[in-house]
Amino acid sequence: MLKILGQPGGRLCDGVSRRDFIRVGGLALGGLSLPQLLRAEAAAGIGKSPKAVIMIYLVGAPPHQDMFDLKMDAPMEIRGPHRPIRTKVPGIQISEHMPRCAAIMDKLVPIRTMYGSPNGDHDSFICYTGRPVANQPPGGWPSMGAVLSRLEGSTDPGMPAFIGLAPKAGHPPYGSPGHPGFLGTTHSAFRPNGPGMDDLTLQSISLERLADRKALLAAFDGYRRQVDSSADVAASDAFQQAAFNILTSSKLMEALDLSKEPARVRERYGKGDPKNYGDGAPRNCEHFLMARRLVEAGARCVTLNFGRWDFHSHNHSELLTHLPLFDQAFSALVEDLHERGLDKDVAVVAWGEFGRTPQINQDGGRDHWPQVGCALLAGGGMKTGQVIGATDRLGGEIADRGVHFGEVFATLYHQLGIDPNRVTVPDLTGRPHYLVNGWLPMPELIGA
């Protein structure tokens, strides 16, 4: 938490309002030291390309049979009451409650045969790492955001590389932005809505002292260390300066300030509901717009969570509390990226940790089904306007072209210009690990 002494109102010498300075200064990195973060990025070699990823976790696992894989020839207790509609791409049909996505299907790729979650436990881990929770190395597997922070850094020195918009949730894995694993807290997500907002502190500083840059930098709590050479002193000052630049970055504040968007754009995304849905996530459509603004400003990876799709009862009515909002926000994000010329550089993926049972239970819900689930991809220079995979008549088993989470991760890394089976990151013992477990990029998405 940043404590500033002085009267409210007014602006600092660089045009940043005191209120905004306090707000941005209060953002947390889950215990990170900003200078540590920047030092690690410099050591890795910060990439300058604008390529980035937005990862959307559909909390609790959505019902694929009611979204992208409707089975109209199955019995009523399998197919449910929802109907498919045609899309812009002939031969592809999706839920009637996704008309906006249907209208831009040429820009999307539904995957109907996702697998890889070994059980029916609720955890966002596989959605952020591409790997199951079991059999992890010491420290744990890092999320894609942490890996990109380690390998690439942000595209702008005033922006963190990895930003997580997920607020704290009643079930902690639902509120995770993706963990840094063995890469360490230096590569944790920068969390505007996170639970660790007091971890990054500046000691109390009078407003008069704000004009003195050196005094302000000296106030970073816990960062001053003994150094042995003038080179170390110079490096320390440089990283402190960069940390201060992030905390007071006009780019960061502007990206978080949705009021700077035209009203028509904000209306296109919609507001949704900012309150958490049960022990899950909010159905916050504005987070989709904020994610676009953050990658455009220089973030390399932005994660967000949406709703609570664990519909063990009242599946069909619960779906209507989620799917129309998701349809509006996701389609707005994809169209926005195309209109702003970002579709070749920014990849988007939305998915849950597993699928739902073909059989509707006695409470009108669908239960956990790790055998097969779904995903929705867009952007990133991928080949869109196609559907990948097919399930059997009841939607419960893979009939053609199963897709493992690791294949999608391999594809995303490939589109970012990183070879996931050649590039490595070191664990806590210094042992190198490839970015995926032998999976290859999907030829359907990257082929010429």
**Residue 17 falls inside a structural domain:** no
Residue 243 lies in a domain: no
Residue 218 in any domain: the answer is no
- For residue 294, give the H/E element and its range: helix 286-297
What CATH code is carried by the domain that includes residue 283? 3.40.720.10
Distances (CA, A) of 149 to 18, 179, 413: 29, 12, 13
Classify residue 330: in a domain, yes or no: yes
CB-neighbour burial class of residue 389 (10 A; exposed 0-12, middle 13-18, buried 19+): buried
Residue 323 to residue 320: CA distance in whole angstroms:
6
Query: Domain range for residue 285?
Result: 47-193+261-446
Residue 7 lies in a domain: no
DSSP per-residue codes, 226-263: --SSHHHHHHHHHHHHHHHHHHT-HHHHHHH-GGGS-H
What pLDDT does 48 receive?
59
Three-state secondary-structure class, residue 107:
helix
Count: domains in the chain: 1
User: Mapping DSSP to helix (H, G, I), strand (E, B) and coil, where does residue 125 land?
Assistant: helix
Residue 428 lies in a domain: yes
Nearest to 290 by CA among 257, 339, 244, 335: 257
**10-residue mean pLDDT series, the chain (448 residues):** 39 38 38 47 53 98 97 94 97 98 98 94 96 93 96 86 94 96 92 55 44 46 40 46 58 88 97 97 98 96 98 98 98 98 97 97 97 98 98 97 98 96 94 96 88
pLDDT at 240: 55
User: Both tokens of residue 393?
Assistant: 């008549």
Please give the model's pTM, rounded to 2 decimal places: 0.83
Supply the DSSP symbol for 28: B
Whether residue 208 lies inside any domain: the answer is: no
Domain-located, residue 384: yes
H or E element: which one contains 34?
helix 34-44
Contacts with 176 (C-beta within 8 Å, 6 or more apart), sequence order: 124, 125, 128, 164, 166
